[in-house]
Amino acid sequence: MRRRSVAGAPVRPDEDEHPEHEQEGFAAPAPAQPVPAAPPERFRTEFEFELPRGYLDRNGVLHRTGAMRLATARDELMPLIDLRVKNNPAYLTVVLLGSVITRIGSLTDPGGQVVEELFASDLAFLQDFYRRINAEGHTRAAVTCPSCESPFEVDLAGGRLGES
């Protein structure tokens, strides 16, 4: 690319753009140093949670903690061809959550059968948890204290209600 001076006359590439640098005592400006970037935050694909009530298995063991991974496009498309969902669209939630929940208590890969047996409050919790991690990217919720009306955040991923 050719540079032009203000008057429109071409400037030769070998001409110094900063003649003041030729004078004694002036040093050429140091090249700009890149600002070190903050260490990259590790991308999370799995989020821990604690169920409000818990899953009670056939042996009477209560499972409260678990993990859910981020959903892929495939996870959201596959239930649409599932016969259970075609027969009953409300079953979509069960199939979808069954594919993204990676652990409930000591049960790895619990699937839709375990989701079917959850208490309604736990199912509602997991639906909201799914929405938060997949749409919003985090598990925090902004809330307001009912007593003093001060706003604060809670992390839905863990801890029992009332604990800090």
What is the Cα–Cα distance from 58 to 107, expressed in whole angstroms? Answer: 12
Residue 137 has a pLDDT of: 63
What is the Cα–Cα distance from 163 to 160, expressed in whole angstroms? Answer: 6
Q: Are strands 101-104 and 107-108 parallel, antiparallel or unpaired?
A: antiparallel
What is the Cα–Cα distance from 139 to 44, expressed in whole angstroms? Answer: 12
Closest Cα to residue 104, out of 132, 112, 155?
112
Which carries the bigger pLDDT value, residue 90 or residue 23? 90
Residue 35 has a pLDDT of: 64
Closest Cα to residue 113, out of 126, 135, 97, 134?
97
Helix (H) / strand (E) containing 74 = helix 73-77
Quick: pLDDT tens for 12-62. 555 555 555 555 555 666 666 666 666 666 778 899 999 999 999 999 999
Q: What is the mean pLDDT of residues 121-128?
A: 96
Q: What is the mean pLDDT of residues 2-17?
A: 52
Which carries the bigger pLDDT value, residue 37 or residue 95? 95
The number of CA neighbours under 13 Å toward the Cβ of 129 is 26
| pLDDT band, very low/low/confident/very high, at 8 (cuts 50, 70, 90) | low
| DSSP secondary structure, 30-72, as one string | PPPPPPPPPPPPPPP-EEEEEEEEEEE-TTS-EEEEEEEEPPP
- The crossing angle, in degrees rounded to 10, of helices 92-100 and 120-131 is 70
- Whether residue 126 is predicted with pLDDT greater than 50 in this model: the reply is yes
- Percent of the chain scoring above 70 in pLDDT: 65
Q: What is the mean pLDDT of residues 95-111?
A: 93
